[in-house]
Copies of this chain bind each other. A is one copy, B any other.
């Protein structure tokens, strides 16, 4: 076995996904979008349209479907970030985007700065690429810019990885001022910012703030995006917004990884975007998820031990809770499963000695009444 696996933490996500599937368990652990908000009819129509040509069964370019790339570029443009279709590389989910950037930017031993806490599967990607991960503290809706600059001066990192909007696992959204500050530090110390933005469309109030790439030097911020949360995760469609300084390396890494993403799925997504149905589908998800978030926020005071605190996410899928310091949430997971409810302990989302008293709760998978029932079960675990 390659030594790179020595740094990989136990695969908590997989185990929890398995728990989710145990009949009767209400799982706040996974981040599974609600199938009832999928536009199955629209997707079916798009796939059938795509299947009109035998070309959807053939090999296709590593960069991806030209129509799909153009539509993604257009969507960036509408958000104020001028983008050429040539900058977009289609990936097999945004997870692959992170993986390609890890192998494009990181040599073994290089430091990658990450938020404390951060998205678990991104930490795995960087670890497998041989990166040394260093956590950057933050508080509320901000990364600690002084700490970021100090750590950059000390470690000369290759990149800082951030999920700016409706963060996984914490649900927080970086302020516009903080984004500008991050970019300024990156420009000063010469590292890239990897902006992983799969949740942008899932805003339940004001739209998410502007991309970190707007106003930054070209190539300073590399962004990844995804159709998993707004169209369908099962199609595994994401992208990287590159610039000429890294595009050819990303495409070579993509070729080595899987030659290209499913021709059929890409063509279907392009057809779906052309159908104009996406905005309506996203709007339905937004309305449904906002209601579920509110159901979770309403039930948490009765579910978690006295002295617990949590945030009110403005979008996305997750609430992050901090229990009183005496609680080790991982120690309660077994009891929770016994009560047919699940959550993710917070510790695995940290790169270094982690607070044991945190947890991530997803609110998107179940309707409000099941969220309420799940939280009643959770209350029983903590009493």
- A227-271 toward B: CB 8 Å interface, digit per residue (1/0)? 010001111100000000010110111011111111111000000
Task: Please judge, given known A-B contacts A121-B255, A264-B265, whether A40 and B57 are in contact too, CB under 8 Å.
Answer: yes
Task: Please judge, given known A-B contacts A35-B58, A47-B51, whether A96 and B5 are in contact too, CB under 8 Å.
Answer: no
Residue of B nearest to A21 (CB): B61
Out of B51, B130, B252, which one reaches A108, CB within 8 Å?
Answer: B130
B58 engages A40 (CB within 8 Å) = no
CA distance A256 to B2 in the complex (A): 15
B261 engages A236 (CB within 8 Å) = yes
B4 engages A234 (CB within 8 Å) = no
The answer to the question of A206 belonging to the interface, with a C-beta cut-off of 8 Å to chain B, is no
CA distance A248 to B5 in the complex (A): 10
B59 engages A234 (CB within 8 Å) = yes
A31 to nearest B CB, angstroms? 8
Task: Please judge, given known A-B contacts A4-B107, A99-B258, A258-B96, whether A128 and B253 are in contact too, CB under 8 Å.
Answer: yes
Task: Please judge, given known A-B contacts A99-B257, A107-B4, A256-B128, whether A54 and B32 are in contact too, CB under 8 Å.
Answer: no
A124 engages B255 (CB within 8 Å) = yes
The answer to the question of A374 belonging to the interface, with a C-beta cut-off of 8 Å to chain B, is no
The answer to the question of A68 belonging to the interface, with a C-beta cut-off of 8 Å to chain B, is no
Q: Copies per complex?
A: 2
CA distance A8 to B2 in the complex (A): 21
> A48-93: which residues lie under 8 A (CB-CB) from chain B?
48, 51, 54-62, 91-93
The answer to the question of A44 belonging to the interface, with a C-beta cut-off of 8 Å to chain B, is yes
B59 engages A233 (CB within 8 Å) = yes
Interface range for A: 35 or more
The answer to the question of A1 belonging to the interface, with a C-beta cut-off of 8 Å to chain B, is yes
Which of A11-19, A134-142, A146-154, A172-180 interfaces with chain B? Answer: A11-19
B234 engages A56 (CB within 8 Å) = yes
Task: Please judge, given known A-B contacts A1-B104, A44-B51, A107-B3, whether A259 and B121 are in contact too, CB under 8 Å.
Answer: yes
Task: Please judge, given known A-B contacts A92-B92, A233-B59, A264-B47, whether A125 and B252 are in contact too, CB under 8 Å.
Answer: no
The answer to the question of A165 belonging to the interface, with a C-beta cut-off of 8 Å to chain B, is no
The answer to the question of A336 belonging to the interface, with a C-beta cut-off of 8 Å to chain B, is no
CA distance A57 to B309 in the complex (A): 35
Task: Please judge, given known A-B contacts A3-B107, A40-B54, A130-B108, whether A236 and B257 are in contact too, CB under 8 Å.
Answer: no
B256 engages A121 (CB within 8 Å) = yes
A136 to nearest B CB, angstroms? 21
Give every chain B residue within 8 A of A124 (Cβ-Cβ). 252, 255-256
Give every chain B residue within 8 A of A36 (Cβ-Cβ). 54
A285 to nearest B CB, angstroms? 13
Task: Please judge, given known A-B contacts A2-B104, A124-B255, whether A43 and B57 are in contact too, CB under 8 Å.
Answer: yes
The answer to the question of A33 belonging to the interface, with a C-beta cut-off of 8 Å to chain B, is yes
The answer to the question of A103 belonging to the interface, with a C-beta cut-off of 8 Å to chain B, is yes
Residue of B nearest to A104 (CB): B2
Give every chain B residue within 8 A of A30 (Cβ-Cβ). 59
Residue of B nearest to A259 (CB): B95
Q: List 24 A-B contacts (CB under 8 A).
A: A1-B249, A2-B158, A4-B103, A11-B252, A13-B255, A14-B62, A14-B251, A30-B59, A33-B58, A35-B58, A38-B54, A38-B57, A38-B58, A40-B54, A47-B51, A58-B232, A92-B258, A92-B261, A95-B256, A95-B257, A95-B258, A124-B255, A234-B264, A264-B265
